[in-house]
Amino acid sequence: MKRPFEIECESLRMIVFSDGVFSVTKEFFLAGAGNDQEVERFPDDFEVALNFVYLQIGGKHILIDAGFGETSGQESGHLLTKLNQSGINPHMIDYVVLSHSHIDHIGGVVKNDKPAFPNATHIISKKEWLYAEKALDSKSFKVLNKILTLLKVIERDTEILPSVLLKHTPGHTPGHLTVEVRMNNGVYLITNDVFNIPYSISNTNLRVVLEENPIKGVRTRNQLIQLAHKEQVFIHSCHFPYPGLGTIEKVNSLYQWKPIEI
Ligand SMILES: [Zn+2]
């Protein structure tokens, strides 16, 4: 078994686990591009990665999103198996941060109709909860209903541990959350679905077709890019190629994704 990508420093351990891949159409995944040549070169269908971050920090275990779980086919839903293979028992998880309510991020919080992480506080933004509630029949809302007793709804940016801040980064969905981890050796922003492909660092109009508010989406992307570039912050983006961690550099006047070397 190939070992998952891991960073260990001070009291932080970060591991990136793959949940698998899923197939998308260009029409769905790369909307808003205009006639950008770079985007035109993409095939009509392609596979997108699903990489999720586990943090061990200050003695606490945090999982940021849970993948498709049982809601998908063979290609994804492998996160729980990967956690177990690395010696991380789902009972150990203290917090599951739900970046947003799309099924590729929350499907895995349920296994055999029960909470997959039974001792974890599952955190979601209030705006996201209200958004999910609008689609009572959706897979996502049904999943959330199976973890109701474990759910904690937050109304504003919230520090869950002294160095772990949950920040509202709306656009993709109304209550989308980014996780900011501040350590002595650097700052990590787990940006989840703010960005869809690495090239969206250069063209911030790029979005999935169902982005709830593209104007806010562009604003959020630009804000995070400027912050990450200025402060030399590491960004993790779950749908970028594995492990999805990198920095942002400016070449001439264009921001570009720079994946970390592994
Ligand atoms: Zn997603």
Looking at residues 129-152, what average pLDDT do you find? Answer: 94
CA 192 to chain centre: 2
| Ligand 1 mean position, distance from CA 198 (Å) | 14
| 1 pLDDT higher than 80 | no
Round to whole Å and give the CA distance between 8 and 56: 9
Report pLDDT for 95: 98
What is the CA(39)–ligand 1 centre distance, in A?
Answer: 19
Q: How far is Cα 17 from Cα 243, in angstroms, rounded to an integer?
A: 8
Q: Residues with Cβ < 8 Å from 245, sequence gap 6 or more?
A: 5, 16, 234, 235, 236, 259, 260
* 244-257 pLDDT, tens digit each: 999 999 999 999 99
Distance 240 CA to ligand 1 centre (A): 10
Question: pLDDT tens digits, residue range 198-236?
Answer: 999 999 999 999 999 999 999 999 999 999 999 999 999
What is the whole-number distance in angstroms between the Cα of residue 53 and the centre of ligand 1? 13
| Cα 193 to ligand 1 centre (Å) | 5
The environment of the single-atom ion ligand 1, i.e. residues with CB closer than 5 A, is 104, 193
User: What is the per-residue pLDDT across 69-121, written as a single tens digit (0 to 9) for each?
Assistant: 998 878 999 999 999 999 999 999 999 999 999 999 999 999 999 999 999 99
Pairing of β 245-251 and β 234-236: antiparallel
**pLDDT value, residue 9:** 84
What pLDDT score does 145 carry? 96
pLDDT of residue 162: 92
102 C-alpha to ligand 1 centroid (Å)? 7
Which residues lie across from 247 on neighbouring strands?
258
Q: Looking at residue 74, what is its pLDDT?
A: 82
Q: How far is the CA of 105 from the centre of ligand 1 (A)?
A: 6
Q: Extract the runs of DSSP E, i.e. beta strands, from 108-244.
A: 110-111, 114-115, 121-125, 151-154, 158-161, 164-168, 177-183, 186-190, 234-236
pLDDT, tens digit (0-9, with 9 covering 90-100), for 20-39: 999 999 999 999 988 899 99
For residue 65, pLDDT beyond 90 = yes
Q: What is the pLDDT of residue 135?
A: 87
Paired tokens of 63: 């999982």
- Taking the centre of ligand 1 as the mean of its atom positions, its distance from the CA of residue 153, in whole angstroms, is 20
**Domains within the chain, CATH numbers bracketed:** 5-259 (3.60.15.10)
